[in-house]
Amino acid sequence: MEDEKIVKLKEELESSLDLVKTSNDLVTLKAKYLGKTGIVTELTKNMKDLSQEEKVSVGKYASAARNLCNELFDKKNNELEQELLNKKLEKETIDITLPGNKLKRGSLHPFNKMVMEIEDLFVSMGYDVADGPELETDEYCFQRLNIPLGHPVRDTQDSFYINDEYLLRTQTSSVQARVMEANTEKTPIRIICPGKTYRRDDDATHSHQFGQVEGLVIDKGITMADLKGTLEIMAKKMLGEKTKVRFRPSFFPFTEPSVEVDVSCFKCNGKGCSLCKNTGWIELLGAGMVHPNVLKANGYDPEKYNGFAFGMGIDRLAMMKYGITDIRYMYTDDIRFLKQFDREEY
C-alpha cells in the first residue's frame, strides 16, 4: 500500500517539477511538500492519536516520502544551477584571438647593470672580482695606501667616522690592500673591486653614497703602457668604439706616477658642448702605477714587483652611458626613472 502511495507521490511531484523554471519556483514547491504545513509534514501531525500499528505504517510512509522529495528537489536544483551556469558561460565567452594585456615587468637598476657589464668585461680579460667590508679600519683605508696623517681625505668633514679606528670606507682601494696582504705567496694579482663607498658629498654630480670600482694589477715588468691599453679597452667597450681616451698628469698618494683619465664627450663627440664645458672631454677616473710605499706596506718588494691601479665611479659611468643628468636619480627609486631601463640585456 505504501509503495503505491510512493509511486503516486513521485509521479505527482515529477509532474510539478517539470513546470519549475526558476529557483524561486522550486523554493515555493518545496515549501508545499516539506514546509511546516506541507503535504509530507501533515502526514505525521496526528501521530499521537494513532494506534501503534498505524504509527508504524504512517511513519514508514512519511520517511520514504520525505527522502523521495529531498532527492527530487536536489536533482532539480542541480539542473537549475547547471542551466544558469551554461547561460552565464554563453554570455561571457572569451575571444582567445584578442591580444592580451601587456604585463609590466621589472628591470635591472642602471647601477646593477653597470656593475654586471664591468665585471663581465674584466673577467673576460682574466681579472678576479674581489670584495671587502664597507665598515673599514683606518689602517686599510688610509695607512696601507700611503695616505699620511693630516691628509685632507682623512678629515672628518670628508669621511664618515664611527670612532677613531673605524669609518665607512671612502674608496674600494681598501680591498686592494686586503688582497695584497692576504696573498702570502706573492703571486701575480689581477683584480677589480666593485662596491659602495661613502663621502660627505651631496649635489647633482656627487652623492654621500656612491659606487666605485677599483682595479689592481701586481706582477713583474708592468708598465704604464699596460695601464693605458687596459683603460682604452675598457672605455671603448663601455662607452662605444669611437670613444677617445686622454691621460693627464696628476697626484694620488697611493700611485706614482699618477694620471687623470678623460674620455671624449659622448654628447658632442669631442666637439665641445655645455656638458663638457666646451672642452670636448669628460673626466672619468684616476689611475697610476702602484706607489712603492704601498707595495712595501702590504708585503711586496718594490725592487721585484710593480703594478698599476685605477678607480672610477660606477654611478658616473652610468650617467655617461645612459645620459643621466643627476646622480641623485640613481637613489630615488622613482618608477618613472627606473622603467626606462629594461632587462632584455640580462
Decide: 198 and 170 in contact? Cβ < 8 Å: yes
Residue-by-residue DSSP string for 94-141: --TTSPPPPPP-----HHHHHHHHHHHHHHHTTPEE----SEEEHHHH
Give 305's contacts (C-beta < 8 A, 6+ positions apart): 186, 218, 219, 220, 295
pLDDT at 205 over 60: no
Which sequence spans correspond to the domains of the chain?
A: 2-91, 110-338
pLDDT at 346 over 50: no
pLDDT confidence bin for 71, thresholds 50/70/90: confident
Read off the DSSP letter of residue 206: -
Quote the pLDDT of residue 343: 54
Q: Which grid coordinates belong to 162?
A: 664611527
Amino acid at 6: I
pLDDT confidence bin for 215, thresholds 50/70/90: very high
- Percent above pLDDT 90 for the chain: 34
Quote the pLDDT of residue 2: 52
Quote the pLDDT of residue 256: 93
pLDDT confidence bin for 328, thresholds 50/70/90: confident
Identify which of 306, 316, 312 has the alpha carbon closest to the alpha carbon of residue 172: 312
- When the pLDDT of each residue in the chain is averaged and rounded to a whole number, the result is 84
Decide: 265 and 273 in contact? Cβ < 8 Å: yes
Indicate the range of 155-159, 183-187, 279-283 predicted with least confidence: 155-159
Indicate the range of 58-72, 115-129, 163-177, 286-300 predicted with least confidence: 58-72
pLDDT at 213 over 60: yes
pLDDT confidence bin for 246, thresholds 50/70/90: very high
- CA dihedral sign of residues 119, 308, 135, 210: negative
Quote the pLDDT of residue 345: 47
Question: Can you tell me the mean pLDDT for 235-241?
Answer: 89
The torsion angles phi and psi of 153, rounded to 5 degrees, stand at -70, -15
302/32: higher pLDDT: 302
Pairing of strands 189-198, 128-129: parallel
Give 116's contacts (C-beta < 8 A, 6+ positions apart): 108, 346
pTM: 0.66
Quote the CA–CA distance of 292 and 294 in Å, as a whole number: 5
pLDDT at 180 over 90: yes
**264-320 tens-digit pLDDT:** 887 777 788 877 788 889 888 999 999 999 999 999 999 999 999 999 988 888 888
Quote the CA–CA distance of 267 and 281 in Å, as a whole number: 10
Quote the CA–CA distance of 306 and 325 in Å, as a whole number: 38
Question: Can you tell me the mean pLDDT for 95-115?
Answer: 80
Quote the CA–CA distance of 180 and 216 in Å, as a whole number: 10
Give 164's contacts (C-beta < 8 A, 6+ positions apart): 138
**129-156 tens-digit pLDDT:** 999 999 999 999 999 999 888 777 777 6
CATH class of 110-338: alpha beta
Decide: 162 and 224 in contact? Cβ < 8 Å: no
| 92-101, 152-161, 291-300: which is most confident | 291-300
Quote the pLDDT of residue 226: 96
3-state helix, strand, coil in the chain (%, to 5): 45, 20, 35
